[in-house]
Structure 1
Amino acid sequence: MSSPLFRPTALGIYLLFFIVGIVGALVLPTFSLFLAKEIGVRPLLVGLVFGGIALASIVYNHWIGHWSDRLADRRPLVVSFCVLGFFACVIFALSRNYWLVAVTAILLFSLSMVSFAQIMAYSLDYAEAEIPAERIPLFNAIMRAQIAFAWVAGPPAGFLLATYFSFTLSYFVASVLYLVVALLSFKLLPRLEKKSAQGCNRDAGLMLPPLTPAVKRSLWFCVLAFSLLWGVNNAYLISLPIHLKDNLQIEAQWMGWLMGTTAVLEVPFMLLAGHYASRFRLLNLIRCAGIAALCLFVGVYLATKLWHLFLLQLFNAIFIGLLAGVGVSVIQALMPGRAGSASALYTNSTHLGNLFSSLLVGLVADYFGYHQVFMVNVVLVLIAIWAFAQVKSADELTPV
């Protein structure tokens, strides 16, 4: 097709995003079960691994994101990190030594996940070079939708493999998929001849001008708001299965059906967000995500029946669809010519949110119960909406 949204390079980006999403969906949802049941460690040691992964991911993404913007070609980074992911998953498949698995997860697996950020950075480079500015949010939304597609099937497949076959088979499948991404990267992603937003060729080594104080202030508020929104989402995923079982006397397995329902519904909202980003301010779309999150958590706090929760997944789909669909576009617009830094900053907001929410759930649930986590989520969403109100839009945040 002639549209840059569907040229071979764009299609390759979509495919690689989908495969990387499958890897994450196979490994991450089952990893706590792997540590607790297969290796047999106490909850504190399970949390230690996840906290270590989050902290390591923040450091890796920040340092590598800034460094990668000075490179002429990102593809060797993608391949290298996928190879590390292959070795990490092989160790998970073969070892039942907690400390070996923990060190591998924190040092290698978290580094392998930087491949996701670098594919995203490559896609932002491609978008800035090949796609009209008003269509970039739609491209980003299509790209992010591949993760949603992956999470429709990935978690059920991971639990199926782990439950009915073995964790060994599940993690071997993930290791093979990492190799597939590594092998396909050079085949599907051509080398880009990119220029910065100021018209300076990156290959010439010219430096971009520093960000203004106003832009830095807006970025800090963006990171705060995105971290809070991704954090409350993670707290919801951790708390809802236990809330279903302990407080509503509903089997926790229904959480899988709720997740699948959300994943199916959020795809059209991602695509609609990308489409309408050319007509509405990006920040207004993100603020709508905050309002949907507010409705979701108030509803979950008040819900008493399973069908209530299924209806509330519409708000969940709007929340995640808009947040994932155009979130990176907001930061990209504030940081033109810095694709690696923009993708790293956005990705780090998810890691910060996950780290914060893990502590939040532990403290609130321990003292007040899992039901009260959703009320705390309501307060945090209100803070996120306020933070977005402090962001001063760059010209790129308005429709052309």
Structure 2
Amino acid sequence: MVRDLLRPVPLGIYFLSFAIGVVGALVLPTFSVFLAKELGVRPLLVGIPFTGLALASIGYNHWIGLWSDRLPDRRPLVAGFCLVGVLSCVIFALTRQYWLVAFSAVALFSLGMVAYSQMLAYSLDYAERQLPVARIPLFNAIVRAQIAIAWVAGPPTGFLLASYYGFSTMYWFAAALFALVGLSSLKLLPRLADAPRPSAADAGLNPVDTPRTGGSAVTPARRALIFCLIAFSLMWCVNNAYLIALPLHLDNHLGIGTEWVGWIMGTAALLEVPVMLLAGLLGARINLMVMVRLAGVAGFLLYAGVLYASELWHLFALQLFNAIFIGVLAGLGVSVIQSLMPGRSGSASALYTNTTHLGNLLSSLQVALVADWFGYGAVFWVSLAVVILAMAVFLGVRPASAGHSARPAPGSAT
């Protein structure tokens, strides 16, 4: 099975997914420290760029995701968005004006990171056209595992570069990686053969348009999709709040240097890789929703542990729960959405990616308001409540609703 997934085309997907993941792993965990320490702004102003970035990303991914489904080739989109990402990182490297940094994050960096969702859509296109349905969760998990591998090295590298060489050096490095992905995408990702995509009516689901029949009830598939999108957004909310608040919580309350945060996050990412691969293997045998709910339990244990951690080793030990939470969520979440939207890879990946952006929006408000009033430690108390709410929403999705598509395996798959 694994050998079938390591043919030449997926290798390009794996490498570029890893490279774009490194960019995010460099910039996102360090951005709150950049704003708070380098620019010297208060917690409320730290949250504003994250809020704007999330809002812009939601809009970009929604409309670009719908539009990209009608295009014959996604590769130019990946390259173009990466060039926009280069520009945003260059601005971060050159200026220390808060509002210019905030504008660049909202208008440019968020657009640059659309390259990631388009890479995910490309991988879904490949999976739907080349792989049997039972192997899609494993393939998706391997693609997402490249992001986890990137986060093994990205946060430590970002915090070390920022601590010893300055934020400008780190952002120049991120700009170079953006350029590498943009230039390599046209070379390493062969154009996929055109394939007919089923209409919304054929798929039995239209999550974008509202029902036109006034008295018709919401279908089970639509209800499952809505519940999943809400619950995924809540789970990504607590994850992003963790990324924003943890460096400042450790520095302000536990006296632990921010350079250790990179190693903590890298440890979690290292553990996520086997969790993602195992989740992908089990995804063909165990209902996806059961596994996602178990991930929520791990998230609850993680944030409860952070609240009571008093030593550095406690935080490293807690990364096992973090790895289970994110490994299952990131490895199987897109498979859940894809199973509810067969034949609409761009829309499915955009919707799933937008759950991360909506989660980022909610977490930005959470951190900005809670930390400004009660301190960064209080953010994790709110995260516990949000995880419980997400688990309650997932209970509204019957296990059969999030199963695998009944699509037969394509004849060309080996």
- Partner Cα distance (2:310, 2:288) in 1: 35
> What TM-score does the superposition give when structure 1 sets the normalisation length?
0.90
Give the corresponding residue for 1:160. Answer: 160
| Greater alpha carbon shift after TM alignment, 274-283 vs 373-382 | 373-382
Aligned-residue offset at 1:57: 0.5
Cα deviation for residue 48 of structure 1 reads 2.1
Which of 387, 390, 395 is the equivalent residue of 1:381? Answer: 387
Give per-residue Cα distances to partners, 1:280-338, cap 9 Å, x unaligned: 11111111111111222233334444433332221111111111111111001101111
Aligned length: 395
TM superposition shift of 1:225? 0.7
Q: Is contact 1:330–1:397 with CA below 8 Å preserved after alignment?
A: no
Following superposition, the deviation at residue 399 of structure 1 comes to 12
Verify the 8 A CA contact 1:279 1:399 in the aligned structure 2.
no
Alignment of 1:18-37 (within 5 A): 18-37=18-37
Contact 2:156–2:259 under 8 Å retained in 1? no
Residues 302 and 30 from structure 1, CA distance in 2 versus in 1: closer, same or farther, beyond 3 angstroms?
closer
Deviation at 1:245, TM superposition (A): 4.6
Counterpart position of 2:140: 140
Q: CA deviation at 1:388?
A: 1.4
What residue in structure 2 maps to residue 396 of structure 1? 404
SS of the aligned residue for 2:271 comes to helix
**CA distance in structure 2 between the partners assigned to 1:96 and 1:300 by the alignment:** 32
Superposition map of 1:237-256 within 5 A: 237-248=243-254, 250-256=256-262
CA distance in 2, matches of 1:166, 1:42: 21
Give the alignment of 1:327-366 within 5 angstroms: 327-366=333-372
- Equivalent residue for 1:325? 331
Q: How does 1:112-131 map to 2 (within 5 A)?
A: 112-131=112-131
TM-score, scaled relative to structure 2 = 0.87
For 1:395 and 1:243, locate their aligned partners in 2 and report how far apart those are by CA, in whole Å.
Answer: 39
Aligned-partner residue type, residue 71 of structure 2: L
RMSD of aligned residue pairs (Cα, Å)? 2.7
Unaligned runs of 5+ in 2: 207-217, 409-414
Distance, in Å, in 1 between the alignment partners of 2:77 and 2:407 is 34
Please report how far the alpha carbon of residue 208 of structure 1 lies from its aligned counterpart in structure 2 after TM superposition: 6.8
Superposed, which structure 2 residues align to 1:258-273 within 5 Å?
258-273=264-279
Corresponding residue of 2:178:
178
Q: How far apart, CA to CA, are the structure 1 residues paired with 2:84 and 2:245?
A: 32
Counterpart contact for 2:159–2:262, Cα < 8 Å: no
Unmatched runs of 5 consecutive residues or more in structure 1: 201-205
1:232 to 238, 246, 267: 238
CA distance in 2, matches of 1:180, 1:75: 14
Q: Report the alpha carbon displacement of residue 183 of structure 1 after superposing the two structures with TM.
A: 1.4
Correspondence for 2:228 = 222
Q: Deviations over 1:214-236 (max 9, x none)?
A: 32221111111111111111222
Encode CA deviations 1:328-366: one digit per residue, 9 max, x unaligned: 110011011111111111111111111112222333344
The corresponding residue for 1:88 is 88
Q: Are 1:45 and 2:48 an aligned pair? A: no
- Who is 2:214 aligned against? none
Look up the match of 2:295.
289
- Over the matched positions of the two proteins, sequence identity in percent amounts to 61
Q: Does the Cα contact within 8 Å between 2:336 and 2:403 map onto a contact in 1?
A: no
Structure 1 33/243 Cα, relative in aligned 2: closer, same or farther at 3 Å? Answer: closer
Structure-2 residue corresponding to 1:203 = none
1:309 matched to 2:318: no
Partner amino acid, structure 1, of 2:394? F
Change (3 A) 1:335 1:105: same
In structure 2, relative to structure 1, the CA distance for the partners of 1:94 and 1:377 (3 Å cut) is closer
Measure, in 1, the Cα distance between the counterparts of 2:123 and 2:348.
12
Question: Aligned AA for 1:338?
Answer: R
AA aligned opposite 1:68: S
Contact kept? 2:23, 2:178, Cα under 8 Å? yes
Q: What's the counterpart of residue 8 of structure 1?
A: 8
Moved more, 126-135 or 41-50: 41-50
Task: Verify the 8 A CA contact 2:43 2:367 in the aligned structure 1.
Answer: no
Classify 1:252/1:76 alpha carbon distance in 2 versus 1 (closer, same or farther; 3 Å). Answer: closer
How big is the shift at 1:371?
3.7
For 1:209 and 1:89, locate their aligned partners in 2 and report how far apart those are by CA, in whole Å.
42
Contact 2:32 2:244 in 1 (8 A): no
